[in-house]
Amino acid sequence: MKRRTGSDLMLGTLLSEGVRHIFGNPGTTELPLMDALVTEKGLAYVLCLQESVAVGAAEGYAFASGGAGVINLHVAPGLGNALGMLYNSKRAGTPLVVTAGNQGQEGHLCETVLWDDLPRMAAPLTKWAYEVRRVEDLEQALRRAVKVALSPPTGPVFLSLPGDVMLAPPPPMQGSPTRIATAFPAAEAGVRRAAEALAQARRPAIVAGSGVTRSGAVQELVRLAERLGAQVFGESASNTIAFPLGHPLYSGELVRVAKHLRAQLEGFDLLFFIGTEAFILSFPPDVPIIPAGTRTMHLDLNAWEIGKNYPADPALLGDPGATLALLLPALEEALGEAGRARAQERRREAELTATALRKKLTPPALTPESESAKGMPPAVFQAALGEALPRGCALVDESITTGGPGLRQAVAGKAGGYFGMKGGGIGLGLPTALGVKVALPERPVVCVSGDGSAMYTIQTLWSAARYGVGCVWIIANNRSYRILKERVLNLQGNSQELRRFVAMDLREPEIGFAGLAEGMGVPARRADTAKELKSALAGALAAGKPCLIDARVQNEELERG
């Protein structure tokens, strides 16, 4: 009979914690774990050919399943390869348990090849980083890791697992999962003050983020906005849909440049942030963002974000769903009959304003001429996807310059789940879709990625073929890092004058995405027109197998000026 080891204890503990999938890329120090998996039927190991793919897939799985994503990496180089993608997970608050094998402790002082101080490497990007040094502590460390990852503010944690610990004979498993109940409302006094402030506001606005979605509070937020007559903005770089994109009060996302953000907020006398950072900026602010005299309130389960840079009064620490359930009747009482009449009049005005804003973002409807044009302009690409995407589809969006707000408006009301990119590091889209589909096998999953982003994690396609994960990946192929071109033009320098770009083109040679996909076992099609894109997407979804579509998008206007 095979003797039990720390690896067996690890698998048993993860199963007890509800884990059913591990995303990873193993090496020599993980061989005890891989050996234990041979006879373990309850856990599936999804092999990813690069560590960034494992992190991205676990991220998608975590958000789609509502549980923790578990990752298995190999020593210092493996963890190092994962850190860029782990930064995104930190910014998005993704509950991940990242593990990495390490060299046996008997060789640490010798600094054996591939050894390093892994917890110190992981610490800046995780909530907790620890090395398990005794097999007797392994179960406790794993249970703590899952608990910490899932406790607000959610986020990644890290465990280093030396080889000697994973091979040692373990004690019997004796613990059980701990889950902290977080569906508590903010303090009653704060809720009353918030209701009074909202009732007195002349022109309030709401900024909603992923915390709303995670708490299941979207419909409560809709009722609040409608009763208050308030425009609703989405947080910039959102990775969820916190408010229906087609709702008459939805006013688009906040932008990430201070002077344009200030213009968006002009005229509001109260800003209510719910489940979000106050503002997410691409550059340091060069103007005051909040207009003078504008009051701010904040509701979140993450105390760090409340009042972090802008005073919040009241500052509400609590679950958005549970708190909004109390705030709605309190607001009714605070408004009174006259206040309710004012709110409904304000709602009519807010809907007109918001509708005009959404109209600017929504791509025009396709025409026979636009459908047949070779090389799709971004607006045509967006409109084609809006027509072709099936209702209820899960959409993973890393389209950046080709998609953005226009794509989100085009698919408004169709996407049954939306997974965006919050951290800013590119390459997350392809593996996120893999993880979403593993978590939601019965749902159609479509990913839209830029060509530059796709090349960071193109190895995702092999894992999809290996495990039969039937996503559809659409590459918005403009043959460049377009976002860099747009931003360098804003410098008003040499690139603006000469229309030349250094290290921003993906041409000469062009990347053959169809060949790359087929070389990894994924069938591929090329789409040069909107009609071809719609046909390719319909065929890929009907097949129910992994598929890539190389969608050719126009880009030449930047060169012409």
Boundary-marking domain end, from 133, 167, 201: 167
Per-residue pLDDT, 561: 58
Question: What is the arithmetic mean of pLDDT over 435-449?
Answer: 96
Asked if 158 and 119 count as a contact pair (C-beta separation under 8 A), the reply is yes
pLDDT at 79 over 80: yes
pLDDT of residue 170: 97
Do 122 and 13 lie in one domain? The reply is yes
As a whole number of angstroms, the distance between CA 435 and CA 360 comes to 33
Rg (CA), the chain: 25
Same domain? 107 vs 196? no
- Residues 346 and 387 reside in one and the same domain: no
In the predicted structure, residue 280 carries a pLDDT above the cut 90:
no
Instruction: Let me know whether 453 and 525 are in one domain.
Output: yes
Full domain range(s) for residue 143: 6-167
Predicted TM-score (pTM) of this structure: 0.95
Residues 144 and 269 in one domain: no
Residue 74 resides in a domain: yes
What is the model's pLDDT at position 558? 66
DSSP state of 505: B
> Is there a domain that residue 35 lies in?
yes
- Mark out the alpha helices in 362-443 (DSSP H runs): 368-372, 378-388, 404-410, 429-439
Interatomic CA distance for residues 154 and 301, integer angstroms: 10
Instruction: Kindly report the CATH number assigned to the domain that includes residue 265.
Output: 3.40.50.1220
Instruction: Residue 403: name the closest of 551, 291, 294 by CA.
Output: 551
**Same domain, residue pair 54 and 39:** yes
Q: Which of 132, 167, 202 is the last residue of a domain?
A: 167
Is 551 part of a structural domain of the chain? yes
443-475 pLDDT, tens digit per residue, is: 999 999 999 999 999 999 999 999 999 999 999
454 touches 475 (CB < 8 A): yes
| 437 in the same domain as 353 | no
**Residue 16, pLDDT score:** 98
Examine residue 206 and state whether it is found in any structural domain, yes or no. yes
Query: Which pLDDT tens digit goes with each residue over 398-427?
Result: 988 888 889 999 988 887 788 888 888 899
pLDDT band at 555 (very low <50, low <70, confident <90, very high): confident
Q: Which pLDDT tens digit goes with each residue over 179-208?
A: 999 999 999 999 999 999 999 999 999 999
172 assigned to some structural domain = no
197 domain-assigned: yes
CA distance 246 to 412: 5
The reported pLDDT for the residue numbered 307 is 96
Note the pLDDT tens digit of each residue in 115-135: 899 999 999 999 999 999 999
Among residues of the chain, what percentage have pLDDT more than 90? 84
Specify whether 352 is located in the same domain as 304: yes
Q: Which of 337, 361, 385 represents a domain boundary (last residue)?
A: 361
**Mean pLDDT, the chain, integer:** 94
Q: Are residues 404 and 423 in the same domain?
A: yes
Nearest to 131 by CA among 168, 101, 172: 101
Place of tokens 């226009």: 406
Instruction: Please give the pLDDT value at position 559.
Output: 62
Contacts 24+ apart (CB under 8 A), 124-127: 125/83, 125/86, 125/87, 125/89, 125/90, 125/156, 126/86, 126/90, 126/98, 126/155, 126/156, 126/157, 126/158, 127/153, 127/155, 127/156, 127/157
What's the domain count of the chain?
A: 3
Average pLDDT over residues 375-393: 94
378: CATH: 3.40.50.970
**Does 355 share its domain with 376?**
no
Is there a domain that residue 270 lies in? yes
User: Which pLDDT belongs to residue 187?
Assistant: 98
Q: In a 10 Å sphere around its CB, with 0-12 CB exposed, 13-18 middle and 19+ buried, how is residue 202 labelled?
A: exposed
The pLDDT value recorded for residue 422 is 84
Per-residue confidence (pLDDT) for residue 450, from 0 to 100: 94
Same domain? For 32 and 101 the reply is yes
375 in the same domain as 355: no
CA angle 411, 415, 420 (to 5 degrees): 90
For residue 549, the cross-strand partners are: 474, 525
pLDDT (tens digit, 9 = 90+) per residue, 27-36?
999 999 999 9
Is 40 part of a structural domain of the chain? yes
